[in-house]
Amino acid sequence: MRTAIVGATGVVGQEMLSLLKDSCLGTETPRLLASSRSAGKKFPWRDGTVTVEALEDSLDLSGIDVALFAAGGSISKEWAPRFVEAGITVVDNSSAFRLSEDVALVVPEVNPEAIPSGPAVIANPNCSTIILLLALKPLWDLKPERLIVDTYQAVSGAGVAGLEALKREAAGGEFREGDPFPFPIHGNLFPAIGDVDEDGVTVEERKMLDESRKILGDPQIIIQGTCVRVPVARCHSLAVTMLFADKDPDRLQQAISAMDKAPGVIHHSDHEKPPTPDPLSGQHAVAVGRIRAPFSDGLQMWVVGDQVLKGAALNTVQIAEQWSRLQ
């Protein structure tokens, strides 16, 4: 089975390429596709190299079985339908198709049954949604009514420009408004990621609600919270409060037992040693700690995950791997 990566030269595309080396999708040399200005670049692959091809109208798509898209929404909207028309399944990391009714939105540990078997577009959720749902799925049978989720999101969530801004300011460099943040980020944080709608809710906060409802198949679940940009290089952190209709003194132990067995999750049971972003950078699993029930009608937990890996590249590759097993 042959894989292509669209947007192969970016941060997420490069992580995808690295992951393919140990994947069932990496039995053949992948095709790397990017803009014409990146065409001709070479990247290491096993004992040799692979050359980037230009994503252009003359591109021959024959021989590709599945394509991993990491090039942004506009490229996905233009090119994903062309790939599907050529008989290629597309797993798209952008927001272009996430809420389309005829497109599956998938976290493999949560809703693998949504993956279609034939050529189609499959959407990868927003990074914070993925990290949240990996921790939430083991507790879903406890039937929470409402969630309060505050996210603390690394600068790399804004791409290479976010990392460069943090490094520049940390080294004493000047703040450049809109490059890519509206405020200085070093030694600072700001509680608004993306545009704000008429209700005062940001794009990032709305994504977490709408995408979670679709993946969980529950249009009634309420998720409120604030998405905060913090001066951390990599890994998003989430403070999660789950509220229930009833009081149950056994709920905490049920939650701990479920989390200990959850796929893709590492449970840090020592409350004095909760997970933090730096050690989780580059890790595949999401870490959960500080599970507690200060009130009998609620649960609280702290969740940390690498948003470039499980929040983007890894989840995309895992979707494609599961799709390949259906063929």
Looking at the annotation, which residues are catalytic? 127, 236
Neighbours of 37 (CB within 10 A): 9
How far is the C-alpha of 104 from the C-alpha of 124, rounded, in Å? Answer: 9
Calpha distance 123→90 (Å, rounded): 8
Q: Where are the beta strands (DSSP E) in the chain?
A: 3-6, 31-34, 42-45, 48-54, 66-69, 89-92, 104-105, 121-123, 146-153, 222-224, 227-229, 236-243, 265-268, 286-292, 298-305
Whether the Cβ atoms of residue 235 and residue 154 lie closer than 8 Å to each other: yes
Sign of the CA dihedral running 135, 127, 224, 210: negative
Q: Which two tokens stand for residue 177?
A: 């408004």
Q: Tokens representing 279?
A: 């050690």
Q: Where are the beta strands (DSSP E) in 134-250?
A: 146-153, 222-224, 227-229, 236-243
